Structure formats: structure tokens, C-alpha cells
């Protein structure tokens, strides 16, 4: 019997909603709508993606490290607001000196940098979906972007 492969689920929620979702995921429940499940990646690959996104929107050097949310779940991590802003900005980002789609460049760099179980086309879809999720974060409603990383 093979071990289940890791995955990351990224979603927008309030703190209490995120804890409830993490408890369900920790217990093996399926995914709730509104999130993105990326197979074969851990929190590390999401952090690396954050660094690539930051560089693409000319915000390098910022700490894109995911942070632990609550001792109730060591699988639940919060995405720093700097990374949320960079992801949201990525969708419409245009740079005078670089040709092509910023999402496409980031996706290709992510696949080149990490040993991901998918190609650049799938990476593009994931990066685009993450950028759209980040754009939906409404901090006036105390929402944040969360990553649950597990198996």
C-alpha cells in the first residue's frame, strides 16, 4: 500500500472558519467549495511560489513565509498579507521591460525551480486560481488566505 501523496489546500476564510475547515481536513474529510487543492505540494512549495510572485511584481525581499495559525492544527498556515497583495497584483501586472503574461512567467519559473508533479500549463492554472483567490480576500470582514498542507 502506498502512502497518500501530500497536497496543499488554499482557501479564503475567517480565523474561526479556517480552524473548522482545518479540523475537517485533519480528520480526512473532503474539500469544501471555494478552495484550491494542489496535489504534490507542501507549504514549502507555496512559500517558494510566493517569492517568485514577489519578484514578478517587483516586491522581492519581503518575507513570504507562511505562519502557524493556531496550536489546534499544525497543518493550518496563514499566508502573509504581503504575499496576498503580490498574488492579487499578479493578475493585472504589466512590466514595461518584460514580455508576456506575468502569471505564465511565474508558473514556468515555479515548475523550473521546484520538483512539481505537474507541468507549466497546470502550474499556470494553479497560479491564476491562487491570484484570483487572493484578490477575493476582504480584510474588512477579517478574511485571510490560508494554506492547509497535509496528506
Task: Please indicate, yes or no, if residue 2 is contained in any of the structural domains.
Answer: no
Indicate the number of domains in the chain. Answer: 1
Task: Please indicate, yes or no, if residue 1 is contained in any of the structural domains.
Answer: no
* Predicted local distance difference test score (pLDDT) of residue 98: 57
SS (H, E, C) the chain: CCCCCCEEEEEEECHHHHHHHHHHHHCCCCCCCCCEEEECCCHHHHHHHHHHHHHHCCCCCCCCCCEEEECCEEEEEECCHHHHHHHHHHCCCCCCCCCCCHHHHHHHHHHHHCCCCCCHHHHHHHHHHHHHHHHCCCHHHCCEEEEEEEC
* Predicted local distance difference test score (pLDDT) of residue 1: 47
Question: Could you tell me the residue range of the domain that residue 23 belongs to?
Answer: 7-150
pLDDT digits (tens, 9 = 90+) for 70-127: 887 889 999 999 999 999 999 887 665 555 689 999 999 999 987 889 999 999 999 9
pLDDT digits (tens, 9 = 90+) for 20-55: 999 999 888 866 778 999 999 999 999 999 999 999
The structure's pTM equals 0.89
Amino acid at each position: 500500500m502506498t502512502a497518500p501523496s501530500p497536497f496543499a489546500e488554499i482557501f479564503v476564510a475567517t480565523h474561526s472558519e479556517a480552524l473548522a475547515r482545518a479540523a475537517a481536513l485533519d480528520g480526512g474529510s473532503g474539500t469544501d467549495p471555494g478552495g484550491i487543492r494542489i496535489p504534490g505540494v507542501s507549504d514549502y512549495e507555496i512559500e517558494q511560489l510566493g517569492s517568485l510572485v514577489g519578484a514578478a511584481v517587483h516586491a522581492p525581499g519581503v518575507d513570504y513565509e507562511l505562519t502557524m495559525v493556531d496550536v489546534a492544527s499544525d497543518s493550518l498556515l496563514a499566508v502573509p498579507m504581503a504575499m496576498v497583495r503580490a498574488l492579487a497584483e499578479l493578475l493585472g501586472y504589466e512590466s514595461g521591460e518584460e514580455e508576456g503574461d506575468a502569471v505564465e512567467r511565474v508558473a514556468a519559473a515555479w515548475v523550473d525551480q521546484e520538483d512539481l508533479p505537474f507541468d507549466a500549463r497546470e502550474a499556470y492554472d494553479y497560479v491564476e486560481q491562487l491570484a484570483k483567490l487572493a484578490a477575493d480576500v476582504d480584510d474588512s470582514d477579517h478574511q485571510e488566505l490560508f494554506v492547509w498542507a497535509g496528506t
